[in-house]
Structure 1
Amino acid sequence: MADEDLATLGPAAEPLTTSTTPPYDGTGRPASQGPGGDPVAGPAARWLPGLVIAGLVLAALNLRPAITSLGALMEEVRDGLGMSGTVAGLLTSVPALCFAAFGVAAPRLARRWGPGAIVCAGMAAIAVGVAVRPFAGGTGGFLAASALALAGIAVSNVLMPVVIKTWFPDRVGSMTGLYSMALALGTSLAAAVTVPMTAALGGSWRTGLSVWAALAAVAVLPWLVIARRRGTAVGAVAGAARPAEPAVRITSSPTAWALAVFFGLQATGAYITMGWMPQIFRDAGVPAGTAGVLLAVTMAMGVPLSFVLPRLASRMRHQGPLAVALGLCGLAGYTGLWLAPAAGAWAWALLMGISNCAFPLALTMIGMRSSSSAGVVKLSAFAQSVGYLISIPGPLLVGALYQHSGGWGLPIALMAGLMVPQIAVGVLAGRDRRIEDGG
């Protein structure tokens, strides 16, 4: 991704606080202005920010159900399509691959069309992909339609923080918390209700997966309105004068690499959990519906912790202790899955849910490891793109080990083993350093 694209999509270098001299509409801009200083005339100054909030929440609700609903019905999908364990492992690796591949394109697309239009297209891609994939005819069609939905998720993932910083520069923390809560809620909701909803709709896994397209279709509606207002394009401020930003060679920063590896390892654990944890419980004798609820519990831990962790991390000079605590919860959860997966299922689900909250910690550290807005954007793009590439092999290896060993001993050992380097790089990434200073 070119540096000029990153700079264009980054928030302005000025502080995010705003003067209270002119009347503000609650979005951090004068009531007569839209993002980038574009005018918002008449009643739009009052209702458009609320519509953006609704769009953010609806978009966030759609960023994980395509993945977690599949995890809840993985056994039925494998049987229905004749998938091997290795191919199923590949399927659980596709999200990370798509996030790395399509996420890189998001800044260029947003520069050309505006973030609102690209998020709108992303929601439409999710709706079409989720609706089509169960009926696409075979494994190849299923994977292709899944890739379409995941492409929509990928570009929306990248652009949601841009939209937040553009529309709500004085409320970045609270709006990010709202976004994170909605994302965790969508994740856990799909995990919890997919199996019982499938049964209520006739028992077909195809219906159970495709029904989530309706939620994505609803999310398209507010973004259609937002996209019509080209002021949502952050590129509109590209020509504005900005203070000089210090040059940053991101690939030369040890902190940037530590963050990228930490992001990649936490993403590995998250996608293994979403893709395989219900099957681990089902193979241990836990009913399918209960296994889905257990995954929902794991995902739902992100709802409260997405508020608590960023606030706690921002008050600490060194976030390493938080990375250690989350990693130890993961080690304890994997140990329990290995020793007594059914007997202590609820405890292991809770511990894994706490461990998976390394994601908001990673996002918080990305924001703290740079002293400039352009540096934050560069660091975020680097850490997420490299991190998602790192996470690709994990679910595939778990599927292969499961198929060839005939049990979950080796896969769980792999999951537990990955927590050790995650803790180590988390400590390195948590040091009070700035990439502009060569850290």
Structure 2
Amino acid sequence: MSDDETKILDRPAAGRKPAPQDTGESGAAAAAPAAPRGPAQPAWLGPVLIVGIVLAALNLRPAITSLGALFEETRTGLGMSGTVAGLITSVPALCFAVFGVTAPRLSRRFGPAAVICAGMAAVAAGLLIRPFADGAAAFLAASALSLAGIALTNVLLPVIVKRYFPDRVGTMTGLYSMALAAGTSLAAAATVPLTGALGGSWRTGLLMWALLALVAVLPWLPVARASRRAARAERAAAADSGEGAGVRADTGPRIVRSRTAWALACYFGLQATGAYVTMGWLPQIFRDAGVSASTAGVLLAVTMVMGVPLAFVIPGLAGRMRNQGLMAAVLGLVGLTGYLGLYLAPAGGAWLWALLLGVSNCAFPLVITLIGLRAKSPAGVVKLSAFAQSTGYLISIPGPLVIGTLYQHSGGWDLPLALMAGLLVPQIALGILAGRDRTIEDECGMRD
């Protein structure tokens, strides 16, 4: 989808507002006008897109959780200190903030399908390179390459869903959210046993996930070509109808004036902090408590796999509620219980604490749903999504680094766990604020 195609997508339908579709959305999201349909797409495009979306989503977390499962071996092999290891766990948030900001511009220039295709290629390249790194700096650079591709895909998959499945936004969002959670848990659970089966080297254990990323590139190649052809056809149709010269993209509201936008961004940042600390450090917490490496990996998988069913259920429930603050509070309280359990009896109740933290981490599908509910127009959703995700990931950057430093200098997990539990208090408060039934357009004085 080129610049012109994006403008056409963002332009409200003329003359009337369509009736809300049955996508599990309500409120502000249901009031958003539907995008006009473009030229007819080839029959194969829909099924290939579904496969491509699922494969892309499967690859959005294995680069992180596979490393978490082998973090101790990787740290030892590369001679990382606790502080450097904390920096490694902060890199995902930094890359998601920095490269996520570039996604809208790249999408306007090349089309979202082409950018996702390139993103998957970057993921595969980084995963192919980093097992051969001979030092922490090279390992960090290769990881950053993969994470840059993940960042671009993170931002643009919702655009693809909105563009090609406008009547099934809820279903498709649930599908790729489930695939994301499945890829996260699969890498966490399978990395250690597969590493053992392939000879025991942590380098081999990390390398094998490049194969999944390479497969994910394939369906996006024909999709990108079809998208470019559709963009040319839409430009020609707009020129023939006399609309092309007058089309201007709706810039949407000024996000920084919205208290709800700031509440969402900060809520996103705190939930991301908890998620990346969990993915990066939870296996180590269990291993330090006497749990075996393979069991610790499975426990992380239990935490991550909770997102598979809940990522499908939570958006539907949230979309049917006028105020989602109670849901945010419940998820935060469940997380507080999990951290308290890790503090008091990390090994004795390991399975229960892993389960509770998995439920708490489902603040992610909630905040993604809130982004759609707190804006009326397509342009408002795009701006709110970019602002909340970029600002939120920037907020989350210090978390894993601070946790790694506290772990190294305190010699245990008491202080890190107390900090993580403490951060859930403002997260709950921000979730209650972000869950109020209002839109950024209303707060910024924008007309529908």
SS at match of 2:167: coil
Return structure 1 stretches of 4+ with deviation > 3 angstroms. 4-12, 14-19, 231-247
Relative to structure 1, the CA distance from residue 163 to residue 339 in structure 2 (aligned partners, 3 Å threshold; closer, same or farther) is: same
Once residues 78 and 4 of structure 2 are traced to their aligned partners in structure 1, the CA distance between those partners, rounded to angstroms, is 41
CA RMSD in angstroms comes to 2.4
Contact 2:123–2:146 (Cα < 8 Å) also in 1:
yes
The aligned counterpart of 2:393 is 388
Contact 2:7–2:249 (Cα < 8 Å) also in 1:
no
The aligned counterpart of 1:13 is 12
1:71 aligns with 2:68: yes
Once residues 47 and 214 of structure 2 are traced to their aligned partners in structure 1, the CA distance between those partners, rounded to angstroms, is 19
1:281 aligns with 2:280: no
Once residues 236 and 399 of structure 1 are traced to their aligned partners in structure 2, the CA distance between those partners, rounded to angstroms, is 51
The aligned counterpart of 1:202 is 199
Once residues 247 and 201 of structure 1 are traced to their aligned partners in structure 2, the CA distance between those partners, rounded to angstroms, is 52
Once residues 182 and 233 of structure 1 are traced to their aligned partners in structure 2, the CA distance between those partners, rounded to angstroms, is 28
1:188 aligns with 2:193: no
Contact 2:323–2:435 (Cα < 8 Å) also in 1:
yes
Contact 1:110–1:233 (Cα < 8 Å) also in 2:
no
SS at match of 1:67: helix
Residue 425 (structure 1) shift? 0.4
The aligned counterpart of 2:113 is 116
Q: Partner letter of residue 62 of structure 2?
A: P
Residue 415 (structure 1) shift? 0.5
Relative to structure 1, the CA distance from residue 341 to residue 8 in structure 2 (aligned partners, 3 Å threshold; closer, same or farther) is: farther
Partner of residue 315 from structure 2, selected from 310, 313, 332: 310
Residue 38 (structure 1) shift? 3.6
Q: Partner letter of residue 109 of structure 2?
A: R
1:331 aligns with 2:336: yes
The aligned counterpart of 2:26 is none
Aligned pairs (5 A) from 1:198-347: 198-229=195-226, 230-231=228-229, 248-347=253-352
Instruction: Give the TM-score of the pair, scaled to structure 2.
Output: 0.89
Residue 250 (structure 1) shift? 0.7
Contact 2:195–2:205 (Cα < 8 Å) also in 1:
yes
Partner of residue 142 from structure 1, selected from 135, 139, 142: 139
Moved more, 277-286 or 230-239: 230-239
1:87 aligns with 2:88: no
Once residues 188 and 262 of structure 2 are traced to their aligned partners in structure 1, the CA distance between those partners, rounded to angstroms, is 33
Contact 2:8–2:247 (Cα < 8 Å) also in 1:
no
Q: Partner letter of residue 204 of structure 2?
A: T
The aligned counterpart of 1:103 is 100
Q: Partner letter of residue 412 of structure 2?
A: G
SS at match of 1:37: coil
Q: Partner letter of residue 419 of structure 2?
A: L
Q: Deviations over 1:227-278 (max 9, x none)?
A: 1121466996797677996951110110000000000000000000000000
Partner of residue 416 from structure 2, selected from 405, 411, 417: 411
The aligned counterpart of 1:29 is none
The aligned counterpart of 1:438 is 443
1:60 aligns with 2:52: no
Partner of residue 428 from structure 2, selected from 420, 423, 427: 423
Once residues 167 and 189 of structure 1 are traced to their aligned partners in structure 2, the CA distance between those partners, rounded to angstroms, is 28
Relative to structure 1, the CA distance from residue 132 to residue 245 in structure 2 (aligned partners, 3 Å threshold; closer, same or farther) is: closer
Q: Identity of aligned pairs, percent? A: 69
Once residues 296 and 233 of structure 2 are traced to their aligned partners in structure 1, the CA distance between those partners, rounded to angstroms, is 45
Aligned pairs (5 A) from 1:169-184: 169-184=166-181
Residue 8 (structure 1) shift? 4.0
The aligned counterpart of 2:405 is 400
Once residues 180 and 91 of structure 1 are traced to their aligned partners in structure 2, the CA distance between those partners, rounded to angstroms, is 25
Unaligned runs of 5+ in 1: 20-33
Q: Partner letter of residue 38 of structure 2?
A: G
Residue 10 (structure 1) shift? 6.2
The aligned counterpart of 2:375 is 370
Moved more, 235-244 or 336-345: 235-244
Once residues 393 and 234 of structure 2 are traced to their aligned partners in structure 1, the CA distance between those partners, rounded to angstroms, is 29
Residue 114 (structure 1) shift? 1.1
Residue 136 (structure 1) shift? 2.1
Moved more, 234-243 or 127-136: 234-243
Once residues 8 and 307 of structure 2 are traced to their aligned partners in structure 1, the CA distance between those partners, rounded to angstroms, is 28
Q: Partner letter of residue 126 of structure 1?
A: V
Residue 39 (structure 1) shift? 4.3
Once residues 6 and 351 of structure 1 are traced to their aligned partners in structure 2, the CA distance between those partners, rounded to angstroms, is 43
Contact 2:6–2:108 (Cα < 8 Å) also in 1:
no
Once residues 372 and 66 of structure 1 are traced to their aligned partners in structure 2, the CA distance between those partners, rounded to angstroms, is 34
Residue 11 (structure 1) shift? 4.3
Q: Partner letter of residue 216 of structure 1?
A: A
State the number of aligned residues. Answer: 418
